[in-house]
Chain A
Amino acid sequence: MTVINARSVDEALTALRDHPRARLLQGGTDLMVEVNLQRTSVQDVIALRQVSELRRWHVDEQSRAVRIGAGVPYAELERNPLALHLPALAQAARTVGSPQIRAAGSLGGNLGTCSPAGDGLPVLSAMDAVVHLRSATDSRDVSIHDFMLGVKRSARRPDELIVAVTLPLLDGFQGYAKVGTRNAMVISVASACLIHDASEGSIRLAYGAVAPTVVRARNAERWLAANAPLRGRPVFDRALASEFGRRAAEECAPIDDHRSTARYRRHAVAVLAERLLLQASGYGASREHTT
């Protein structure tokens, strides 16, 4: 019954092995709300805020990827230089809570909590991110698509720590959009991330808060690939974007709750997908076509 302040990943993993029921604490923006509102009586807590290894990120030009430590705060993701490498992630980071929350919250926390409304998760899904997990005895890499299992359920074992996430460096448009009741301090009603891989010739769309986990609009993606050339600088007209949005909305499974209705969420997904595709249209060429 104690709080263990880990100073390194190894210390955290040893503590996790010795205290299998311990809760992991990174920024505190989820766990402390539970504790304060007394929904959770915590036993053992392993605090990660002093683990500097989790706060580092680096670009690997050779593999064209960015590896981001699980504890890198949103405040750092939203700024250059990371924002230049991963613009959609930066946009998502800017929509998180408030400056105070963004100084504390991290992708590791987003993944650990695994809420379908987690603002960073649609970006990880659309970019086919890889989650790096470690335990005292082994380590493994899990695709984001296999990591998220359900509402607040993930593939992380109790003895594992999320240490980092790897995202590819891509050429092409990257966009993130979110619907909420106001601009700051809002949990998403619906969100979407659209990533264009100009060299591979693919467009990927993921959405949040409209299904038990963040999901990809695979059918809409395939339909678009079959109906538009996607290499280089593709141009999309409004009719195509509107149909893309309509198809994307068919693939979500929203619910009614205190934040919104299923009907509104489905509509929002269609609008977000359409808008993001129009923003991606001709990206890198002239910007006159955008609205």
Chain B
Amino acid sequence: MSGENAGNEFFRLTVNGIDHDVRDAWVGESLLYVLRERLGLPGTKGACEQGECGSCTVLMDGEAVCACLVMAASAVDSEIVTVEGLSTDGEPTDVQNTFVAAGGVQCGFCTPGLIVAVHHLLDRTPNPTDLEIREAISGNICRCTGYGRIFEAVRLARDARLAGG
């Protein structure tokens, strides 16, 4: 195509606590694309690119949002946290561990988005009901598990946190 969209955009994003300069993004480029292709953070997955599957869920200023629906150049001055930024010590988080323990991961494509959504839930609502768990992950589509083991993983993480684990 012509250079119509080649805006040579330059902007700075704060991702997982680190400032990144983004160069040469085209006008309208999504945060999802920038994270994966320009910043080397492929943990955030891309599938539907229309906000329906939740596999690109990230935290932006503490809210769980679809990175595919965020125009990257508009995300300046926001705190962005991806699945890579949830763990502070390089070890899996409590939620990642319960997903493994409960067998909540099959093909794994939806997992990073679910992990982010579940962290968001448990940080906001420490003792969610089953209905609140279902609601919190209603925007994350999994085609393998049938969700049963995912719900179990969330309950395990909830109970462990409540027990002070």
**Residues of A at under 8 Å CB distance from B?**
1-3, 5, 25, 27-29, 31-33, 35-37, 40-45, 47, 49-50, 75, 97-101, 103-104, 183-185
Contact = CB atoms under 8 A, between A and B. Distances in A.
Given A25-B71, A45-B28, A47-B74, A36 B64 contact: no
Contact of A103 (B4, B7, B49, B63): B63
Of A5, A75, A100, A185, which is in contact with the most chain B CB atoms at under 10 Å from its CB? Answer: A100
Given A43-B27, A97-B51, A103 B65 contact: yes
5 A-B pairs with least C-beta separation? A98-B139, A47-B74, A184-B138, A3-B73, A36-B49
Contacts of B54: 98, 100
A5 B136 contact: no
Contacts of B81: none
A75 to B, nearest CB: 8
B57 interface: yes
A28 B71 contact: yes
B7 A2 contact: yes
Contacts of A25: 71, 74
Contacts of B74: 3, 5, 25, 28, 45, 47, 49-50
A41 B4 contact: yes
Nearest to B7: A1
Contacts, number: 112
Contacts of B9: 2-3
For chain B, the bracket of interface size reads: 20 to 34
A36 B71 CA distance: 10
B71 A100 contact: no
B139 A101 contact: yes
Of A36, A42, A50, which is in contact with the most chain B CB atoms at under 10 Å from its CB? Answer: A36
Interface in B37-89: 49-52, 54, 57, 63-66, 68-71, 73-74, 76-77
A31 B30 CA distance: 11
Nearest to B72: A3
Given A5-B73, A98-B138, A103-B63, A29 B28 contact: no
Contacts of B73: 3, 5, 45, 47
Contact of A45 (B52, B71, B136): B71
A33 B141 CA distance: 18
B80 to A, nearest CB: 13
Interface in B131-145: 135-136, 138-141
B30 A100 contact: no
